[in-house]
Amino acid sequence: VETPRGNPYVKFVCVPGLPRHHTVCEKGEENPREKRLIQNTESLQKLADFCGLESISSRSWIAHVRGRMPAGMPLTPTENHPMPVDVDQLGIFSSPADGIAMSALCAGVEGPSLLFDVPAYQVVEAALYDFIFCAGDRHTQNVFVDEDSNIKLIDNDNLLGEQVFVPGSFNKTRKCGVSSLFIPGTMESWRLRRSKYCRGLLGTLDYRCHAGPSGEVNLKPKLQQCLTHFKKSSANDIHAEFGLAELDFAKSLKQRATDLLDVGFPAALQRASEFEKTIMFTKAPDNKKPFVGKKWDEIPPSSDKDLFVAWRDSMWRPLEPAVCNGLRANWDNAPWDYRTDKSFVGGEEGADGIGIELQRITVEMTRPKTIQP
């Protein structure tokens, strides 16, 4: 449910009487999925506050909602619900993010040029946030950009490993499949790195375009203190202190924090991706096997390539140099300078125009239609 700018947004996992995306639930019955996302939302906000990363993302909280949804609420991208629906349940609230989604920004004529002015510290902080808290779906629709090029991360209730969690042995299942347009070597970054979409400028959001090609970062004191706390605490203590939904989430968080402190950001990213890499090399279906482990230029353009770049069963992709389009990193007035090499001012490698063009669906195809009662 969206409210006017300045008021928060509220999200429901399922609303009785509103079968959105074919989800059905009954009033008064416990919804396990809702319970997990509520717990995950509260844990993530507590963690972000503790680590000093709260300003890069929208703020979230849980509250009871009582009211009525008007007729015409969307059920699918092409269908609306014909009747009003009463609401009396818990909701996941988020503070509003200024500006528009990056996907909408990219569709405009002048919008893509704003990417050259995104504050460098925000890009690096977004990368750290997505790595530490395990964001597996950070794409252009859940990053907002305002008129001053400030960015804000939204839709964060599925982090900490929730997106890929499958009950079972911690060492035999996916623990944390990071995929973020800010983090190289992941599905989302790799597929946008050389994309023509957004005038070929999405590669500038690779955090290395702002921190330097080495990828090493200078952690701010509060974040360093937070990571040290995770490193020194047991997984059981982290699980209890922050109310995580699974002990496995605490184990995974502790490992990423320890690696980040011990070996630095690039090596920590590599360690965290090893399981996803194993999936890529051992479980890729036959139509994906020809592309496994190959760099972008080693794969001839084809419809199969377009399907492979967005394959989500493994979030690992080859690590390749950043495509920074001549960006000069904007560290002016940054509250913290994450660069280890303060002489670094920007990248020189430009996009060469080779890449996939993300398909654009016409307005007519996406216009909702109302189901008659």
Boundaries of every domain in the chain: 9-96, 100-309
169, pLDDT greater than 70: no
Share of the chain above pLDDT 70, in %: 89
CB contact burial 242-270 (16+ within 10 A = b; e otherwise)? bebbbebbbbbbbbbbbbbeeebbbebbe
Band of the pLDDT at 363, cuts 50, 70, 90? very low
Residues with Cβ < 8 Å from 86, sequence gap 6 or more? 17, 67, 68, 69
Alpha helix (H) residue ranges in 220-289: 221-232, 235-242, 247-263, 265-272, 274-283
Q: What is the mean pLDDT of the chain?
A: 86
Question: Which pair of tokens denotes residue 187?
Answer: 């599905």
Q: Taking every pair of C-alpha atoms in the chain, what is the biggest distance, in angstroms?
A: 65
Q: Token pair 């059905």 is at which residue?
A: 24
Measuring CA to CA, how many Å separate 15 from each of 40, 56, 57? 19, 30, 26
User: Could you give phi then psi for residue 371, rounded to 5 degrees?
Assistant: -75, 135
Contact 252, 163 (CB under 8 A): no
Mean pLDDT of 167-172: 57
Is the predicted pLDDT of residue 204 greater than 50, yes or no? yes
368, 77 Cβ separation under 8 angstroms: yes
Two tokens at 268?
């920590």
The confidence band for 263, taking pLDDT boundaries of 50, 70 and 90, is very high
pLDDT category at 358 given cuts 50, 70, 90 is very low
Kindly indicate the confidence band of residue 5, based on its pLDDT and cuts at 50, 70 and 90.
low
- Residues 149-157 have a mean pLDDT of 93
Closest CA to 121 of 192, 55, 184: 55
Distances (CA, A) of 314 to 132, 201, 273, 284: 19, 25, 9, 8
pLDDT at 32: 81
pLDDT, position 316: 93
Residue owning tokens 């389009």? 325
Nearest to 197 by CA among 115, 134, 78: 115
Q: What is the pTM of this model?
A: 0.87
The kind and range of the H/E element at 89 are: strand 85-94
- CA–CA distance from 113 to each of 196, 291, 346 (Å)? 14, 32, 16
CA atoms within 13 A on the CB side of 341: 14
242 CA to centre of own chain: 21
Q: Is 196 exposed, middle or buried (0-12, 13-18, 19+ CB in 10 A)?
A: middle
Q: Is 123 helix (H, G, I), strand (E, B) or coil?
A: helix
Identify which of 358, 49, 349, 306 has the alpha carbon closest to the alpha carbon of residue 184: 349
Task: Tell me what pLDDT residue 372 has.
Answer: 37
Residue 24 one-letter amino acid: V
